[in-house]
Amino acid sequence: MYVYKHFMAIHVPLLHDNQQPKRMLPKTNLLKSSLSKYLQEHAANPVHWREWSDAAIDEAKALNRPIFLSVGYSSCHWCHVMAKESFENDHVAKVLNDNVVAVKVDREELPSIDEVYQMSLHAQGKQGGWPLSVFLDPKTLRPFYGATYLPPFPNSFTGAPGLVSLVEAISKLYRESPDEIEDACESIAGRMEILSAPTASPDLISTENIASISEDMMSSADPVWGGFGRGMKFPQTPMLLHLIHSEAGHDHAVATALHMISGGIYDHIGGGIYRYATRADWNVPHFEKMADDQGRLLQVLARMPEPDRDACMHAAGGTIDFLHDVMAVPYHGATLFAASLDADSEGKEGQYYTWAPIETHDVLAGWSEADATDFCKELDLMPPNWGEVSVPRRNAADHPDRMPSKRMSDLLASGIALLKERRSQRSPPERDDKVILAWNAQIATGMLQAGMRYSEPGWVTKGLALVDGLLASFCSDDDMPHMIVDGQPSGHAFLDDLALLSEACLVAYGATADERYLKQCTNLVHRLFADHARDNGLTQAPAAHTVLLPTVPVHDAAQPAANGIVLLVLARLFSITAEPEWQKLYAKLHTAIAGARDAAAKPTILRAVRVMAGMPVVHCPVPSRVTEIAMAAGADVISAPELSVCGTQGCQTATEETIEGVLGAYSW
């Protein structure tokens, strides 16, 4: 029996749809001493928030109240909306304080908590996201009801329940009908158990079924605008990183990347990509910027074919400049990168990034009418393309009467510099300064791969400096942290931290042939197997830090699944060293996680299978004549499956003709 019907039956309206929640004067709660910026933002709420802790759980048990778990992050727009509507409201806070024990979690600080309770929404047939709002039984920490954003009062248009009436109904049911709460917990927990780990399968992902799986991935492809689906779109970079090396999806992956870097989801003024687009054409973004998205974009751009070199190299350079100009966090002599930028500034989403016609006119006041008109047409700045303002973008300006490229290039360079200068005078979005290991590792990998692809030694140097900084900052002690907050190591490393850093080390080895990076990679792999290995794969959190149940991430989402990254690293290690240890570990992990069921959701595992099957890998130090030949081959090289450039250990020399022949045979 679903408990939800009881919550809806006990409907206690708080406000009418046209009323605004009442604000109260700031107070402080138990979040005031938290290291998390997101939690500190809620320290003045009238809600009596607690951090996730044994003390909070014990309090809920002693009071015989359910736990209301609210998970979000600092740059989350809808988290801010729910905070303003509900958590800063006197009456909503009183209802929460009187009926539940309210616990706040930063999903970037405790990703394993977020992952397991996001799974509880999937177990209820709901879509996950943030803010995450889940009610737990404190005796077992099992969820019995969950949602994402909840308005303070019922929404008559969407049918969403109001938070107040929901909390009151849940509290009543928890006190008066504990058996029904237990039934709901059992039902959801059973489905979570199935979702939490890969199930054994006689059919595994192999070279024999990769082509058909790739075709399955393409079933939801948008042939007009690229990407997948017909509505809101995320970059889906793990899928692109596989499909760009597949016969079925190569052209679509390339087209998708080009649509993204020309659309509004890419910041044409300051560089970098926003988190997702709210429309199928990529032109209206949701304006928060996440560090990990930048790293994965660079990895995709590093695989683009030669005909698109100029546009992709420009976008990669803009992204790297954005990271160093805006996101850099100095730490003990290293330059690391902050987690995110808020979507809002001055109380409005996108305020920092959009342009009203009057301001655009003012910025270009010294230009001729023809130049100003052509520039605005190229960036789609006039007339407004999003309400009363414009989001800069280029794909809407693809007209048959385009001007000569030299003139337009000059106009773009001059005009964008003027807009960037004017934008710098605005109040910028707030930055969450926490440095997350996994996210920085993806940036390092992206910088290195983009630098090698586009023969930009400065990018390679920056990528190597980042790898060195991460190793010095995170790997100096036995207790490896997950992040650095306010200059202090914090938390415990998760599987994705270890996996993605090991990948970055391997790419650094490829860029230098420095055995130190190979040694660091193997050390990290040994560590993650020692701390995270189970019969059915590798768990996201080590046993000592597992909550509710261990999760074994194998399905890619916006980020690659950590088990897939480990499998990919093992395949690359074996291809480089030919050591049986890596082959054995690969075989065991592949059997555990590479079931063909839901294979279309496992593109990173598909990439690993390609590498292990012996798809072409160019072995050479960098720079070298072989690298020059590889780069000169352009589309053949970048389209070849999982091209990597790595050290000479275990390699044979080959003539230029042989190298070109191998690469050419695998061009699609």
Write the CATH number for 152. 3.40.30.10
CA distances to 109, 252, 472 from 494, rounded to whole Å, are: 11, 33, 18
Q: Kindly state whether residue 292 falls inside one of the protein's structural domains.
A: yes
Query: In terms of Cα–Cα distance, which of 107, 108, 112, 167 is closest to 141?
Result: 112
Average pLDDT over residues 506-522: 97
Cα 242 from Cα 247, distance rounded (Å): 10
Instruction: Report the sign of the C-alpha dihedral through residues 395, 398, 403, 405, in that order.
Output: positive
> Does residue 177 share a domain with residue 81?
yes
Instruction: Report the sign of the C-alpha dihedral through residues 8, 13, 16, 20, in that order.
Output: negative
Q: What is the pLDDT of residues 303-350, one digit of tens each?
A: 999 999 999 999 999 999 999 999 999 999 999 999 999 999 998 999
> Does residue 320 share a domain with residue 252?
yes
Tokens at 641, concatenated: 């499956």
Cα 4 from Cα 642, distance rounded (Å): 47
The mean pLDDT of the chain is 88
Across 129-138, 351-360, 450-459, 631-640, least confident range:
631-640
> Does residue 226 share a domain with residue 187?
no
Across 152-161, 199-208, 397-406, 481-490, least confident range:
397-406
> Does residue 579 share a domain with residue 497?
yes
> Does residue 453 share a domain with residue 393?
no
Q: Kindly state whether residue 348 falls inside one of the protein's structural domains.
A: no
Q: Kindly state whether residue 428 falls inside one of the protein's structural domains.
A: no
> Does residue 548 share a domain with residue 473?
yes
> Does residue 517 share a domain with residue 646?
yes
Q: Kindly state whether residue 552 falls inside one of the protein's structural domains.
A: yes
Rg, C-alpha atoms of the chain? 26
Give the helix/strand (H/E) hosting 147. Answer: strand 142-147
Q: Kindly state whether residue 201 falls inside one of the protein's structural domains.
A: no
| Beta-strand runs (E) in 306-440 | 328-331, 334-337, 340-341, 344-345, 348-349, 431-432, 435-436
Across 69-73, 191-195, 250-254, 518-522, least confident range:
191-195
Which residue do the tokens 């590093």 mark?
302
Average pLDDT over residues 436-446: 99
Q: How many domains does the chain have?
A: 3
Q: Is 619 helix (H, G, I), strand (E, B) or coil?
A: strand
> Does residue 640 share a domain with residue 536?
yes
> Does residue 301 share a domain with residue 156?
no
Residue numbers of the domain that contains 368: 353-423
CA distances to 39, 92, 374, 411 from 28, rounded to whole Å, are: 11, 16, 53, 52
**pLDDT at site 597:** 87
CA distances to 268, 430, 668 from 108, rounded to whole Å, are: 27, 16, 39
Contacts of 142 (CB under 8 A, 6+ apart): 136, 185, 188, 189, 548
> Does residue 657 share a domain with residue 573?
yes
> Does residue 188 share a domain with residue 75?
yes
Average pLDDT over residues 351-375: 97
> Does residue 442 share a domain with residue 412?
no
